[in-house]
Structure 1
Amino acid sequence: MEALIAALAVLGMLIVTLGAGLWVFLSLALVAGLSLLFVQGMPVDRISTIAAGIVIRYASSWELASIPMFIWMGEIIFRTDISDRLFKGLSPFVERIPGGLLHTNVLGCTLFAAISGSSPATTATVGRITTVELFRRGYDKSLSVGSIAGAGSLGLLIPPSILMIVYGILAEQSITRLFAAGILPGLLIAALYVCYVMIRALLDPSVAPSDLPKRRIRDYLIALANLLPIGILMGTVLGSIYSGVATPSEAAAMGVLAATCITIATGQFSLSMMRDTLLGTARTSTMVCSILIFAAFLSTAMGYLHIPADVAAAIGAMNLSPYALLALLTVFYLGLGIILDGNSIVVMSLPIALPLVLQAGFDPIWFGIYLVLMVEMAQVTPPVGFNLFVLQGVTGWSIGQVARAATPFFLLMVLGLLIVTIFPQIVLFLPDVIYNR
C-alpha cells in the first residue's frame, strides 16, 4: 500500500508541475531530484553525480542519434509537395472503391507514416491537403476529419516510429525488431479503417459523392510517378534496415540524404528551406531527447525509492491473471492519455509497467506495440489529443467537434488492440521470421 501511495505521489507531483506550465523535461528533473533529496535523504552532490552520469550515457548512445535524423527527414518532407503528390497519386486508384477519395486519408497516412515517424507530422502534412480537397468535393466532413484523425496516428505504429525508438532505448529492446513488429498491426488498423469507410459509404452513399472522371492508362502512369518519391524513401529507409545493410541510425541518415536528393530533383531545394528544416529539427530533437534523458533520471530515482519493485510486488500480491493485469493497465493508460502526451506516457509509466508485464509472461516486443497502440488512442482523446489540436488548426473546428468525428476511429483502435491481444503472433510474426528468433 505504501508503494502505491508513493507512486501516486510521484504521479501527482508530475501532474502538478506539468499543470503549472513547466516544460516536461524540467518537471521530470524536478520531481526526480526532490524525491531523492527529501524522501531518500540523498545529498545534493550525489544527486548531481547520478544525473550527470545519465546525461553522459544517453549523450553517447548511438541509438539516440536516429531520433534527430528521422525528425530531420520528416522536416524536409513536410516542406515539399510530397503530400500533394501523394493525394494525386492515390486518387485514381481509390476513387472507384466505396468511399472514394476518403481512402486517400487512410492510405495516404499509412504510406506517409512509413517515412515520417511522427503522428502529428503525418496528420498535419496529409490533412492539410486532403481535408480541403474532400470538403470542396462535398464529402462528409465528419468522416473526412475523423478518418484523418485516426489514420494520422499510424505515424506512431508503422515504422520508422520515433516512439518505438524511445521505447526501445528505455526498455533496452531491439529497435529493428520493434520496427518489424509494428508493420502488421499498422496494416491491420489501416484495413479496419478502410472497411469502416466502405461500410459507411455503402449504407449512405451521400457521404462520398460519386463523380468519377474518365481515366486513361496515361493517368495511372502519372499517378505512379507521383508516388515514386514515397516509394524511394520507403525503400531507402525500411529496405536498408530489414536487409541488414544499415542500423536504424544509419538508415535515418540515408533517408535524410534521399529526401534531400528528391527536393533537388524536383526543384524545391533552397538554402532557406534547409535552414528552416535544421531549426525545426533542433527544436523537436532537443525536446524529445531532453525528455528521454530526464525520464531516465526519474526512473533511476524511482528505483532508489523502490517504487517499481514495491508496486510490482503489491500488484503481484493481487494474483491477477495476465489479461486482468492488461485490462488494468489499459484503463490506466487511457486515463493518462486524457492528460499527457505520448512521450510522457511512455517514459513515466515504463519503469513500473514493464516489470509487471514481463512477470506476467508478456513478450517485451509485443508490449512495446501494445504501448504504442495505447498512445495512439491518446492522440485522439481530449483534452490533450495532439492529433485533435492539429486538425483543429487545419479545419477551424472546435476540439469537441473533432473529437466526436474521431470517436468511431478510436473505437476501431480498441478493436485492433483486442485483436492483437488475442492473436499476439500478428505482432511477433515478422520479427521472428526476419530475425530468425
Structure 2
Amino acid sequence: MDIGLLSLLLVVVLFGLLLAGVWVGFALMAVGLVAMEIATSAPVSSVFARRVWGAMNSWDLTALPMFIWMGELLFRSRLSSDMFEGLAPFTRRLPGRLLHVNVFGCALFACVSGSSAATTATVGRMSLPELRKRGYAENMALGTLAGSGTFGFLIPPSIIMIVYGAATEQSIARLFLAGVGPGILLAFLFSAYIVVWALMNKDKMPPLEPLAGAKEKLRALGLLLPTLLLIIGVIGSIYAGLASPTEAAVIGVVGAMVISGFSGGLNWDGFVASLRGAAITSCMITFILAGASFLTVAMGFTGIPRILASWISDQGFSQYALIAVLLVFFIVMGCFLDGISIVVLTTSVILPMVLVAGIDPIWFGIFLVMVVEMSQITPPVGFNLFVIQSITGKNIFEIAYYALPFFLLLVLATAILTVFPEIALWLPSTMMSN
C-alpha cells in the first residue's frame, strides 16, 4: 500500500477508536495491529507479546507508581494548608501579595508530587477559599492556579518525564535535572506577570494586611519545613548521586507517610484511597506505554518514521522552523488529548525527525513537557480546567479565559528555551559529567 494512504488509514483508525471511547492504550495496540497486518508478514502475535512485555518490564518505570502514590498521600494530608500558612507571611508586601502563594505553593508541591492535576487540586482546595475570602480578583485567583498547576509536569520529580524517558530510552535523572531551569524561568515569568497586573490594577487589590513579625515568620518556616525536608530527601538524593529516581521515589513515599501521619490529615480510609488512586493511575499509564511501545515497532515496519525523517532532512528545515511547526502541532493535539497520550502517541514518529535535525533529545523532552503543560489549560480536554471546575463549579471555558495570559507566558517561555537551550541543558551537563 502507498505510504500516504497507509498513514491516512492509521490516523483514521486511531481517531475513530478514540472517538468511539476506546481506552488510549488499547487504541494504540489496535492501530499497531492494523499497521503490521498491512505492512509486514512478520508474526504479529510474537512481536506484540515481546514488545508489550518489554515495555512493562522496565526498572525505570518502577518509580512511576511510587511517585504517583507519594502525590496521592500528600493530597490527603494537611500539606496544602500548611504551605499556604507558611508562604503567606512572606508575600504580603509583594505587588500581588497572596496571589504569589499559588505560584510558590504549586512550585513547592510540584517538587514532591510529579502530577499537574494533583498539584492544582492540592493547592487550589486551600488557596482559592482563602483568596476569595480576602477579596482577591477571581480571574487572577483562578488564572494563577490554572497556570501554576502545570508545574507538576515540569518541576521534578515529573511523572511525564518518566514516561518520556521510558518511551525514548533517555536518562530520567538527566531529564529531572533539565527541568529545574525551565521551572524556575516559568515561576519567575508568572510572578512577574502578577506584579505587573497588580501595579496596573491597584483598585482590584484588597487592602494591605499587617506586616508579619519575626515570630510569625519563624512559625511559617516551621510549617514549610516538612515540605522542604521532603524535597531535599527526594530531589537532593538524586542530584547528589545517592539514589536513583526509583530509590528516591521510595524515599518520597516513606517521607509522605511520615508527614501525613504527623499532620493528622491521613486516616485509614485515606490511606486505602491513596493506594487505590495510585494503582488506577499507574495501570492506565502502563497500558498506554505498552500500546505505544507496540505501535512504535509497528511504525518501524511500515517505514513511516524513516520516510518522514528523510523528508525533513531533504527539506533542509532549520531547527527553529521545525520547532515552530511542532509547537503548533502539539498545541492543537493538546486541545483533544491528555499530556501522557500526546507523548506516547507522537514520540515514535517525531523523535527520528528531531534527531535528524540535530536537536538534543533531552532538550526536546523538556520542550515537549512544556507544550504538554499548555494542553493542561486548553479546552475542551484541559485536565487543570476540570480540576478547578470541580473545586469552584465554574465553566471550563471561563476558567480557560482566565488562564489565557499564563498560556501565553508558557509560549513565551518555550520561545526563550528555544533561543537559549542552555537553560535546560546546563545543569544536567554539569552535574552528570562530574
- Judge same fold: TM > 0.5, yes or no: yes
Aligned AA for 1:16? G
Aligned AA for 2:149? G
1:216 maps onto 2:209 in alignment = no
Deviation readout 1:245-264 (Å, 9 max, x if unpaired): 11000100110011111122
Superposed, 1:254-273 pairs within 5 Å as 254-273=251-270
The corresponding residue for 2:179 is: 182
1:318 maps onto 2:315 in alignment = yes
1:156 maps onto 2:141 in alignment = no
Residue 111 of structure 2: SS of its match in structure 1? helix
Q: CA shift at 1:213, angstroms?
A: 2.3
C-alpha contact (below 8 Å) 1:58/1:64 kept by paired residues: no
C-alpha contact (below 8 Å) 1:150/1:406 kept by paired residues: yes
Aligned AA for 1:294? G
The corresponding residue for 1:6 is: 6
Q: CA shift at 1:58, angstroms?
A: 2.6
1:128 maps onto 2:143 in alignment = no
C-alpha contact (below 8 Å) 2:234/2:248 kept by paired residues: yes
The corresponding residue for 2:222 is: 225
- In structure 2, C-alpha distance between the alignment counterparts of 1:8 and 1:413, rounded to whole Å: 32
- In structure 2, C-alpha distance between the alignment counterparts of 1:239 and 1:335, rounded to whole Å: 36
Aligned AA for 2:319? P
Residue 317 of structure 1: SS of its match in structure 2? helix
In percent, how many aligned pairs have the same letter? 47
- Say if 1:325 and 1:2 are closer, same or farther in 2 by CA, change over 3 A: farther
Q: Gaps spanning 5+ residues in structure 2: where? A: none
Deviation readout 1:332-352 (Å, 9 max, x if unpaired): 111111111101111111111
The corresponding residue for 1:40 is: 39
Q: CA shift at 1:105, angstroms?
A: 0.5
The corresponding residue for 2:278 is: 281
RMSD between aligned residues? 1.5
1:372 maps onto 2:359 in alignment = no
Residue 315 of structure 2: SS of its match in structure 1? coil
- In structure 1, C-alpha distance between the alignment counterparts of 2:4 and 2:426, rounded to whole Å: 36
Among 90, 101, 105, which residue is 2:102 paired with? Answer: 105
- In structure 2, C-alpha distance between the alignment counterparts of 1:25 and 1:209, rounded to whole Å: 48
Q: CA shift at 1:268, angstroms?
A: 3.5
C-alpha contact (below 8 Å) 1:71/1:116 kept by paired residues: yes
Superposed, 1:187-206 pairs within 5 Å as 187-206=184-203
C-alpha contact (below 8 Å) 2:92/2:211 kept by paired residues: no
- In structure 2, C-alpha distance between the alignment counterparts of 1:168 and 1:27, rounded to whole Å: 22
C-alpha contact (below 8 Å) 2:76/2:266 kept by paired residues: no
Deviation readout 1:167-195 (Å, 9 max, x if unpaired): 11111111000000000101101100000
Give the TM-score normalised by the residue count of structure 2.
Answer: 0.97
- Say if 1:83 and 1:56 are closer, same or farther in 2 by CA, change over 3 A: same
Among 164, 167, 173, which residue is 2:164 paired with? Answer: 167
Q: CA shift at 1:315, angstroms?
A: 2.7
The corresponding residue for 1:390 is: 387
Aligned AA for 2:111? A
Q: Gaps spanning 5+ residues in structure 1: where? A: none
Deviation readout 1:254-293 (Å, 9 max, x if unpaired): 1001111112222344332221111111101000111111
C-alpha contact (below 8 Å) 2:189/2:409 kept by paired residues: yes
Among 136, 139, 148, which residue is 2:136 paired with? Answer: 139
Aligned AA for 2:160? L
C-alpha contact (below 8 Å) 1:99/1:207 kept by paired residues: no
Give the TM-score normalised by the residue count of structure 1.
Answer: 0.96
The corresponding residue for 2:293 is: 296
C-alpha contact (below 8 Å) 1:91/1:104 kept by paired residues: yes
- In structure 2, C-alpha distance between the alignment counterparts of 1:191 and 1:169, rounded to whole Å: 30
Residue 112 of structure 2: SS of its match in structure 1? helix
Residue 300 of structure 1: SS of its match in structure 2? helix
Among 289, 293, 303, which residue is 1:306 paired with? Answer: 303
C-alpha contact (below 8 Å) 1:4/1:311 kept by paired residues: no
The corresponding residue for 1:15 is: 15
C-alpha contact (below 8 Å) 1:200/1:207 kept by paired residues: no
